[in-house]
A and B are shown apart, each in its own frame.
Chain A
Amino acid sequence: LLLLSVICSPQNYPLYIRSVPTENELKFHYTVHTSLDVVDEKISAMGKALVDQRELYLGLLYPTEDYKVYGYVTNSKVKFVMVVDSSNTALRDNEIRSMFRKLHNSYTDIMCNPFYNPGDRIHSRAFDNMVNSMMMQVC
Chain B
Amino acid sequence: VLFQIMELCGATRLGYFGRSQFYIALKLVAVAQSGLPLRMESLNTVKDLPLPRFVVSKNEQESRHTALYSSDADNAASYSGVIPPPPGRIQVKKGSVSHDAVQQRTSTDQQESTSPVVSPQQSPPTSPHTWRKHNRHPSGGNNERPLAGPGPFWAPFSEAQPGSSTSSDPIWSGHSPPPHQENWVSFADTPPTSALLAMHPASVQDQTTVRTVASATTTNEIRRQSSSYDDPWKITDEQRQYYVNQFKTIQPDLNGFIPGSAAKEFFTKSKLPILELSHIWELSDFDKDGALTLDEFCAAFHLVVARKNGYDLPEKLPESLMPKLIDLEDSTEVGEQTGEVGYSSSPAEAPPSKSPSMPSLNQTWPELNQSSEQWETFSERSSSSQTLTQFDSNIAPADPDTAIVHPVPIRMTPSKIHMQEMELKRTGSDHANPTSPLLVKPPDLPEENKISSSVKFTAGNTVTDGYSSSDSYASDPEQIGSTVTRQRSHSGTSPDNAAPPPPPPRPHPSHSRSSSLDMNRSFSVTPGPQQAGVVAYPPAVPPRPQPSQGAGPHVHRPVDAEGLIAHTSTSPQQIPEQPNFADFSQFEAFAVSGVNKEEEDEIETHSEVLQVEKPSDSASSLRVAKADGRVEDKAPANVPTSAGKGTTPLAPPPKPIRRRLKSEDELRPEAEEHTQKTGVIAAVLASQPSIPRSVGKDKKAIQASIRRNKETNTVLARLNSELQQQLKDVLEERISLEVQLEQLRPFSHL
For the complex, what is the distance from the CA of A12 to the CA of B261, rounded to whole Å?
27
User: Is A40 an interface residue, CB under 8 A from the partner?
Assistant: yes
A123 and B278: CB pair below 8 A? yes
For the complex, what is the distance from the CA of A126 to the CA of B281, rounded to whole Å?
11
Decide: A105 near B374, CB < 8 A? Known: A40-B749, A112-B285, A125-B315: yes
Count A-B contacts at CB 8 Å. 73
Measured between beta carbons, the chain A residues less than 8 angstroms from B315 are 125, 129
User: Is A57 an interface residue, CB under 8 A from the partner?
Assistant: no
Interface residues on A, range: 20 to 34
Measured between beta carbons, the chain A residues less than 8 angstroms from B277 are 115
A113 and B384: CB pair below 8 A? no
Minimum C-beta distance from B314 to chain A (A): 10
Q: Which B699-750 residues have C-beta < 8 A from chain A?
A: 745-746, 749-750
User: Is A133 an interface residue, CB under 8 A from the partner?
Assistant: yes
User: Is B275 an interface residue, CB under 8 A from the partner?
Assistant: yes
B389 and A113: CB pair below 8 A? no
Measured between beta carbons, the chain A residues less than 8 angstroms from B389 are 50-51, 75
Q: Identify which of B288, B363, B405, B750 contacts A40 (C-beta below 8 A).
A: B750
Q: Identify which of A10, A51, A115 contacts B274 (C-beta below 8 A).
A: A115
For the complex, what is the distance from the CA of A11 to the CA of B274, rounded to whole Å?
23
A109 and B395: CB pair below 8 A? no
User: Is B381 an interface residue, CB under 8 A from the partner?
Assistant: yes
B388 and A112: CB pair below 8 A? no
A114 and B274: CB pair below 8 A? no
B750 and A112: CB pair below 8 A? no
B264 and A115: CB pair below 8 A? yes
Count chain B CB atoms within 10 A of each CB in A11, A77, A112, A129 and give the residue with the most.
A112
User: Is B504 an interface residue, CB under 8 A from the partner?
Assistant: no
* Chain A interface SS verdict (over half): loop
B264 and A109: CB pair below 8 A? no
* Chain B interface SS verdict (over half): helix
Measured between beta carbons, the chain A residues less than 8 angstroms from B261 are 114
Decide: A76 near B288, CB < 8 A? Known: A105-B374, A112-B260: no
Q: Which A1-47 residues have C-beta < 8 A from chain B?
A: 10-12, 40, 43-44, 47
A76 and B395: CB pair below 8 A? yes
Minimum C-beta distance from B205 to chain A (A): 14
A115 and B281: CB pair below 8 A? yes
Identity of the chain A residue whose Cβ is nearest the Cβ of B315 in the assembled complex:
A125
B282 and A76: CB pair below 8 A? no
For the complex, what is the distance from the CA of A84 to the CA of B5, rounded to whole Å?
49
B749 and A44: CB pair below 8 A? yes
Measured between beta carbons, the chain A residues less than 8 angstroms from B375 are none
Decide: A114 near B388, CB < 8 A? Known: A40-B749, A124-B278, A125-B315: no
For the complex, what is the distance from the CA of A113 to the CA of B283, rounded to whole Å?
10
For the complex, what is the distance from the CA of A110 to the CA of B384, rounded to whole Å?
13
User: Is B289 an interface residue, CB under 8 A from the partner?
Assistant: yes
Measured between beta carbons, the chain B residues less than 8 angstroms from A94 are none
Identity of the chain B residue whose Cβ is nearest the Cβ of A124 in the assembled complex:
B282
User: Is B327 an interface residue, CB under 8 A from the partner?
Assistant: no
Q: Which A100-132 residues have C-beta < 8 A from chain B?
A: 105, 108-110, 112-116, 123-126, 129
A11 and B750: CB pair below 8 A? yes
For the complex, what is the distance from the CA of A77 to the CA of B746, rounded to whole Å?
15
**Residues of A near any B CB (own CB < 8 A):** 10-12, 40, 43-44, 47, 50-51, 74-77, 105, 108-110, 112-116, 123-126, 129, 133
| Shortest Cβ-Cβ A-B pairs, 3 listed | A114-B260, A75-B392, A114-B264
